[in-house]
């Protein structure tokens, strides 16, 4: 009797082992197929094969690794700190509540996890059409939206906004267009081109936009820590100065930003402003004089954006702000002593997706100061006058602007979006 039981249990055990073995074999086969699958569909089929393999064999090491790689490739890492950026989220929630009206047809460009689309639905939109260029992200957003009970109010369209067609993807032009597609220097995610297209092709003539306006500003800053980070003079006793000319533009991650403790030395001056309700993609050129109003050392020209989402609601990556956006500082070749009245001329250029800036460092001059020396550096966007921007097109390709939070590879369909 005992022997019978032992035999049954052995057979059962062997049967289970054989079953597990077969599952593992099938998982291996699926992983093999996944490695051969082209990624031209944005990784959808590969992701499905790997998910199927992991359902059969949850600890399949190769499947796990390939899945991680795939997600890293197609889902930029900045999505997560961005979604955790509560100041950004609050500002968008408030702006959307203020500007989306019950009954609106809303176009949300760049669905991501679905947050702005869901905020628009919550604000009373009749229907939200949200497009997303990354198929894997669009697929996940569809799930998020369904899990929040909004599947009947929001349609996720896995397409680039430029490929949307009225009558096919949206039943009619939108009453309101929402987007959050700006990087550290505002333009690098293609917001101007995208909104130019959307406002002409996908929106009603008087459609509202969130954001409404963006401004790029520059100011002189001091930071020994920034220089130590980007221009280390020596390592283990070796002189590294001959390497420094490569470090002209510092891309500062949010963590480094806290460490660097940039100290503004004078007021921030607007370089360019952009009307997102009537976007203009023409390149522009501007020379601006930045001045210091205090003593210290000028190490860099710090450039940041301010975006007005709705009247009184803005987001920024200025020196004073925190949040997930990275920062950009154009480093001076040689530090300059700052004192009230020292002035530096910067020459800035932008096209539809890039900002470049050079500093006329040798021409730093000191002027007697009669202006406000309070060191106020952060004027509200609404105070900014329109600038007479001289537009040029000299065929020169400036460097691409820098990432929202660095570290992510550029997603398909976007050229050089993030470093």
> Which of the residues are catalytic?
180, 189
For 260, the 3-state DSSP assignment is helix
Helices (H), 75-164: 79-83, 86-99, 115-122, 135-147
Candidate list 137, 203, 300, 405; residue touching ligand SAM; CB under 6 A: 137
Candidate list 99, 127, 129, 134; residue touching ligand SAM; CB under 6 A: 134
Q: Of 365-394, which residues contact ligand SAM (CB under 6 A)?
A: none
Question: By CB under 6 A, is residue 183 in contact with ligand SAM?
Answer: no
- Compare residues 115 and 329 and give the one whose CB is closer to ligand SAM: 115
Helix (H) or strand (E) holding 71: helix 61-74
Smallest distance from the beta carbon of 384 to ligand SAM, in angstroms?
Answer: 24
- Compare residues 115 and 338 and give the one whose CB is closer to ligand SAM: 115
Please count the other Cβ atoms lying within 10 Å of the Cβ belonging to residue 267: 21
Distances (CA, A) of 413 to 135, 178, 315, 353, 356: 11, 20, 26, 14, 22
Question: By CB under 6 A, is residue 181 in contact with ligand SAM?
Answer: yes
Contact characters 93-132, ligand SAM, x per CB under 6 A: ----------------xxxxx-xx--------------xx
Residue with tokens 């909104």: 195
Report the DSSP beta bridge partners of residue 188: none
Report the DSSP beta bridge partners of residue 300: 221, 331
Candidate list 46, 67, 133, 328; residue touching ligand SAM; CB under 6 A: 133
Q: How far apart are CA 47 and CA 35, in angstroms?
A: 10
- Compare residues 198 and 265 and give the one whose CB is closer to ligand SAM: 198
Residue with tokens 């154009």: 330
Helices (H), 283-380: none
**CA-closest candidate to residue 414, choices 174, 162, 84:** 162
Smallest distance from the beta carbon of 177 to ligand SAM, in angstroms?
Answer: 11
Question: By CB under 6 A, is residue 401 in contact with ligand SAM?
Answer: no
**CA-closest candidate to residue 70, choices 52, 46, 40:** 46
Please count the other Cβ atoms lying within 10 Å of the Cβ belonging to residue 376: 12
Q: Of 56-95, which residues contact ligand SAM (CB under 6 A)?
A: 82
Contact characters 193-222, ligand SAM, x per CB under 6 A: -x----------------------------
Please count the other Cβ atoms lying within 10 Å of the Cβ belonging to residue 371: 12
- Compare residues 203 and 221 and give the one whose CB is closer to ligand SAM: 203
Report the DSSP beta bridge partners of residue 130: 108, 156
- Compare residues 392 and 412 and give the one whose CB is closer to ligand SAM: 412
Q: Of 141-180, which residues contact ligand SAM (CB under 6 A)?
A: 160-161, 180
Binders of ligand SAM: how many residues, by CB under 6 A? 20
- Compare residues 189 and 222 and give the one whose CB is closer to ligand SAM: 189
Smallest distance from the beta carbon of 113 to ligand SAM, in angstroms?
Answer: 6
Task: Note whether 107 and 177 are within 8 A (CB).
Answer: yes
Q: Which residues bind ligand SAM (CB under 6 A)?
A: 82, 109-113, 115-116, 131-134, 137, 160-161, 180-181, 189, 194, 411
């Amino acid at each position: 009797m005992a022997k019978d039981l032992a035999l049954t249990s052995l057979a059962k055990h062997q049967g289970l082992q054989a079953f597990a073995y077969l599952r593992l074999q099938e998982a291996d086969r699926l992983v093999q197929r996944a490695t051969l699958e082209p990624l031209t569909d944005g990784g959808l089929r590969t992701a499905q094969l790997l998910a199927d393999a992991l359902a059969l064999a949850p600890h399949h090491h190769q499947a796990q690794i390939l899945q991680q790689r795939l997600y890293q490739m197609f889902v930029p890492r900045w999505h997560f700190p961005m979604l955790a950026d509560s100041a950004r989220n609050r500002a968008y929630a408030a702006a959307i509540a203020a500007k989306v009206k019950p009954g609106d047809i809303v176009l949300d460009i760049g669905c991501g996890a679905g947050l702005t689309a869901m905020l628009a639905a919550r604000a009373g939109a009749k229907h939200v059409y949200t497009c997303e260029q990354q198929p894997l992200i669009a697929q996940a957003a569809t799930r998020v939206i369904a899990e929040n009970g909004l599947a009947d109010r929001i349609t996720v369209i896995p397409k680039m906004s430029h490929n949307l067609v009225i009558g096919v993807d949206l039943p009619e032009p939108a009453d309101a267009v929402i987007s959050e597609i700006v990087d550290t220097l505002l333009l690098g995610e293609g917001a101007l081109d995208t909104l130019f297209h959307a406002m002409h092709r996908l929106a009603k003539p008087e459609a509202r936009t969130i954001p409404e306006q963006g401004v790029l500003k520059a100011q002189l800053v001091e930071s020994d820590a920034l220089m130590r980070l980007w221009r280390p003079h020596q390592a283990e006793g070796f002189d590294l100065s001959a390497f420094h000319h490569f470090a002209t533009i510092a891309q500062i991650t949010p963590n480094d930003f806290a460490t660097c403790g940039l100290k503004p030395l004078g007021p921030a001056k607007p370089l360019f402003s952009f009307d997102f309700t009537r976007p203009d993609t023409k390149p522009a050129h501007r020379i601006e004089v930045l001045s210091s109003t205090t003593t210290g050392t000028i190490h860099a020209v710090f450039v940041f954006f301010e975006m007005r989402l709705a009247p009184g609601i803005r987001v920024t990556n200025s020196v004073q702000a925190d949040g997930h956006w990275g920062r950009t500082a154009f480093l001076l070749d040689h530090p300059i002593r700052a004192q009230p009245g020292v002035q530096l001329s910067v020459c800035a250029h932008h096209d539809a997706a890039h900002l470049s800036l050079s500093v006329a460092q040798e021409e730093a001059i000191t002027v007697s100061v009669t202006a406000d020396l309070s060191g106020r550096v952060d004027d509200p966007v609404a105070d900014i006058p329109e600038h007479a921007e001289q537009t040029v097109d000299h065929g020169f390709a400036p460097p691409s602007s820098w990432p929202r939070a660095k570290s992510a590879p550029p997603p398909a369909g976007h050229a050089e979006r993030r470093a």
